[in-house]
Amino acid sequence: METFRYAHFPLDSSVVHVALFTNVSNAAQLRSRIVRASTMVGPEGDSEREAVNYAFIDARLICSVLHLQTAIVQAILAHAEGILRTKTIHSEILWALSPNNNITEAIKRFGVSDNMTALMVVRIASPGLDHVLEGMQAIVSGTLSPIHKLGDVTDWAGIRKLSIDLKYYKLNNDPALKVRSNGDAEREHAIINEIVTSTGARDRSAVGVFTPKTAAVFVATAVGLYFYFRYEKQKLLEQRQKELDDKQVGRPNVGGAFSLTTHENKPFTEQDLRGKWNLVYFGFTNCPDICPEELDKMSAAVHELDKQYGPIVQPIFISVDPARDSIKQVARYVSEFHPRLVGLTGDYASVKATCKAYRVYFSTPPDARADDDYLVDHSIFFYFMDPNGKFVDAFGKATTCEEVIARVQKEITQWEESTGKRV
């Protein structure tokens, strides 16, 4: 295994570990394990995803170490700028290896296949990560080989077949490809490195991976990519925001401006919905059964979503009984449910205006007093709002907790694909 350090990159991605495994015998099992880890939930799923938290790359399709290093640098730059096109920095390497924007095709072309026998494994990490090689060897059954032996496993015939004389790699028009290597793998790599770096072929056994010239070109390329990504990031965000705005067309006009007070006696407006996904339920603390059942369902859903995403889904309870639901009463009530449940109340006019904005029906009389004994008839569902405070969906009493979770997961996934972020 070789380790590369980049002091000019963010600390959490400043160290790159690269290993070459040959005679791999468990490719099919490894592929199944990666797929399974992506679907697991809870602590067990987190542990399994960490166990396979690497980039697994078909070594037969890597032209040179520099070819791989260029994709790694692009992935690190995208991570640093917050514009990953894929879910992780490691899957971004596969995306960067592909000349198009299709991650599915990139995984198919460069990822693990059932019958592969040569595998490159990459881990991008902070300097403090230990036992990386042990982790790789624990999940890959094969022979650990020196990186400079990559030329022995590169499948040039397969590359040409895949890309029609290397068109897939966008190198097919270079005159250097007309040079005959006569099957010499080391000569093939010298040809490719000449194309990629515009320098002479190098003697790996004498100078290692980089000569001073190629190192300078590599650093200059990294700096250029950094500024390119900064420019492209703003364009991409503007385009994705437009796509999100377009998705709002046809949705019910639910939500709007409101001003209430939290159970911690703090002001809360529609602006506090921004930057989080929100589940909003309207009810009252003296509700005998339906409200507790719905809030239990909401709390259970948020609890499971917290395990997968962290605290990005905000649960909210809005009282429709301002006469009896004081700040202290609401505080006592919400403490019985999810620990992050935000309780909101206000005067009658504020509550009525909020209910009107959210199209919620409630029957609390405007002249009700705190000591009156009455029940409140109200709408029985909670709203799902996106990080822009826009309505997404509504969940009624018949909707199960599992259905709520699945719907939220689907929307977060679509949002992440459109924006590169979960919120």
pLDDT of residue 79: 84
Residue 104 sits in the same domain as residue 75: yes
Residue 233 sits in the same domain as residue 342: no
Residue 225 sits in the same domain as residue 363: no
Q: Tell me: is residue 291 an annotated ligand-binding position.
A: yes
Give the number of other Cβ atoms within 10 Å of residue 90's Cβ. 21
Q: What is the DSSP string of 55-123?
A: EEEEGGG---HHHHHHHHHHHHHHHHHT--SSSSHHHHHHHHHSSSS-HHHHHHHHS--TT---EEEEE
Q: End-to-end CA distance of the chain, in Å?
A: 37
| Domain assignment of residue 320, yes or no | yes
How far apart (Å, rounded) are the C-alpha atoms in residues 343 and 345? 7
Which residue range forms the structural domain that includes residue 174?
2-240
| Domain assignment of residue 249, yes or no | no
Contacts with 143 (C-beta within 8 Å, 6 or more apart), sequence order = 21, 22, 23
Residue 293 sits in the same domain as residue 231: no
Domain boundary among 207, 240, 273: 240
H helices of 255-324, in order, are 290-309
pLDDT of residue 380: 84
How far apart (Å, rounded) are the C-alpha atoms in residues 184 and 186? 6
What CATH number did the domain enclosing 42 receive?
3.30.2380.10
What CATH number did the domain enclosing 277 receive?
3.40.30.10
Residue 268 sits in the same domain as residue 230: no
> Structurally, how many domains does the chain consist of?
2
Residue 215 sits in the same domain as residue 83: yes
The partner residues of 17 in beta bridges, in order of sequence, read 3, 123
Contact 136, 122 (CB under 8 A): no
Residue 110 sits in the same domain as residue 210: yes
Q: Tell me: is residue 401 an annotated ligand-binding position.
A: no
Residue 182 sits in the same domain as residue 320: no
| CA-based max dimension of the chain | 95
| Domain assignment of residue 215, yes or no | yes
Residue by residue, pLDDT tens for the chain (423 residues) are: 899 888 778 888 889 999 999 999 999 999 889 888 877 777 888 888 889 999 999 999 888 888 888 889 888 988 888 888 788 899 889 888 877 666 777 788 888 988 899 999 999 988 777 788 999 999 999 999 998 888 888 887 777 665 544 444 544 443 433 443 444 555 544 544 444 433 333 333 333 444 555 555 555 666 566 555 555 555 555 555 545 554 544 566 788 999 999 999 999 999 999 999 999 999 999 988 889 999 999 999 999 999 999 999 999 999 999 999 999 999 999 999 999 999 999 999 999 999 999 989 888 877 888 888 777 888 888 999 999 999 999 998 888 999 999 999 999 999 998 888 999
Domain boundary among 191, 212, 240: 240
Give the number of other Cβ atoms within 10 Å of residue 389's Cβ. 18
How far apart (Å, rounded) are the C-alpha atoms in residues 245 and 233? 18
Question: Cα–chain-centroid distance for residue 409?
Answer: 12
How far apart (Å, rounded) are the C-alpha atoms in residues 276 and 313? 6
Contacts with 235 (C-beta within 8 Å, 6 or more apart), sequence order = none
How far apart (Å, rounded) are the C-alpha atoms in residues 114 and 97? 20
| Domain assignment of residue 254, yes or no | no
Residue 216 sits in the same domain as residue 339: no
* Interval 108-159: pLDDT, tens: 888 898 889 999 999 998 877 778 899 999 999 999 999 888 888 888 777 7
| Domain assignment of residue 251, yes or no | no
pLDDT of residue 173: 40
| Domain assignment of residue 382, yes or no | yes
How far apart (Å, rounded) are the C-alpha atoms in residues 127 and 125? 7
Residue 103 sits in the same domain as residue 24: yes
| Domain assignment of residue 186, yes or no | yes
Residue 326 sits in the same domain as residue 181: no
How far apart (Å, rounded) are the C-alpha atoms in residues 149 and 85? 31
| Domain assignment of residue 250, yes or no | no
Residue 276 sits in the same domain as residue 413: yes
How far apart (Å, rounded) are the C-alpha atoms in residues 289 and 294? 9
pLDDT of residue 215: 54
